[in-house]
Chains A and B, each alone.
Chain A
């Protein structure tokens, strides 16, 4: 399910921002988050991204934490993050840089993307959960706590 959500969200953002992804055509990029259960491959082909959980071929493997990933999306420089050991790259660094350049052209409005499938109210609630996660040191526990709180009494969750 996570590949489905990622694939749809990413391609939606690419089409709404009219980003040219042709420099990555034919490339396969593995992205692993160290502190979140996400280990996926982005395959750029036919002018879109496919997101899958397995691939025999990989051009570059990128390993980083969730907060480092968030920094990358917020225009952090790849070489600075490499120097600070916030990101590990195996393989073609140029391909990794191209992916980062593309991601940095996108405006990640999480609620806007989610609202396509869930409607505005649920997307807004989910956005509040994400905000809470961003400010937490233990995101998975914080996520569980937040979901439990919403399910028990959605009105008091601010």
Chain B
């Protein structure tokens, strides 16, 4: 059995990846939102807005946001589910979770629960949530199939899973620009703004190692979801996969 996995373009021992990813996010946590705005030219707000619109969430729903980081999705979900619903913001990284907690408090959002957890071992009972989301987190998970299986397990029958993640663009001119931007500009911006070039080099590499749209769709279906559709955003730079746990 192969005991290695990828960390960006490097092969590393499987048991080491989680710690290495944690170091990346420990390093970037306090500049995470600013860097997202700068690196995506603000587009990440539109991608997340689209994700919320696609979630088909209603008042009273229970939502789990995995790798929820600074709480962008959790804040929008909290508005949708209202006082009778429940939103759990989770992240494996304590520094990111603390940033999320600070953000939500500063924005006057109350009632969101915070749980530090790994997407590979979700500490909730089967059939607990109406919607489970993970935005820009799956590519950092060591065992992605296990994470998707866990999301399936904790979803109620008829529940909806959302995976928002960088993906593959098939628009050739955009791909060339995107490659140049990712490997030459993003790490330099990381160094300039967050004083951390390596983490943003990892970001660019991890995006290239992440499964493309069709591969991820197959992973979702293999995990047990009865239905999965994906929607390309910004020419496929980002894709939203929506899985439904049909009964």
Q: A residues engaging B (CB < 8 A)?
A: 4, 7-8, 11, 15, 25-26, 43, 45-48, 50, 52-57
Whether the pair B229, A45 counts as a contact (CB closer than 8 A) is no
Whether the pair B247, A26 counts as a contact (CB closer than 8 A) is yes
Chain B contributes a number of interface residues (CB within 8 A of A) equal to 18
Whether the pair B227, A43 counts as a contact (CB closer than 8 A) is yes
Whether the pair A46, B159 counts as a contact (CB closer than 8 A) is yes
Complex CA gap A74/B59 in Å reads 29
Chain A residues positioned under 8 Å from B58 (CB to CB): 11, 15, 48
B15 at interface (Cβ–Cβ under 8 A)?
no
Complex CA gap A26/B247 in Å reads 6
Whether the pair B56, A11 counts as a contact (CB closer than 8 A) is yes
Chain B residues positioned under 8 Å from A56 (CB to CB): 227
Whether the pair A15, B59 counts as a contact (CB closer than 8 A) is yes
Chain B residues positioned under 8 Å from A7 (CB to CB): 56
Encoded as 1 (CB less than 8 Å from any A CB) or 0, chain B from 38 to 79 comes to 000000000000100110101100000000000000000000
Chain B residues positioned under 8 Å from A55 (CB to CB): 227
Whether the pair B130, A46 counts as a contact (CB closer than 8 A) is yes
Beyond A45-B158, A45-B244, A45-B247, whether A50 also contacts B56 by CB under 8 A is: yes
Beyond A50-B160, A52-B227, A52-B229, whether A43 also contacts B56 by CB under 8 A is: no
Complex CA gap A8/B49 in Å reads 14
Encoded as 1 (CB less than 8 Å from any A CB) or 0, chain B from 210 to 236 comes to 000000000000000011010000000
Chain B residues positioned under 8 Å from A26 (CB to CB): 246-247
Chain B residues positioned under 8 Å from A11 (CB to CB): 56, 58
Instruction: Name which of B157, B159, B246 has the most chain A CB atoms within 10 A of its CB.
Output: B246
Nearest chain-B residue to A15 (Cβ)? B58
Complex CA gap A43/B56 in Å reads 12
Chain B residues positioned under 8 Å from A52 (CB to CB): 227, 229, 244
Task: Give the residue of B50, B54, B158, B227 whose beta carbon is less than 8 angstroms from that of A46.
Answer: B158
Contacts A4-B53, A46-B160, A48-B58 known; 19 new A-B pairs at CB < 8 A: A4-B50, A8-B53, A11-B58, A15-B59, A25-B247, A26-B246, A26-B247, A43-B227, A43-B246, A45-B158, A45-B247, A46-B130, A46-B159, A50-B56, A50-B227, A52-B227, A53-B229, A54-B227, A54-B229
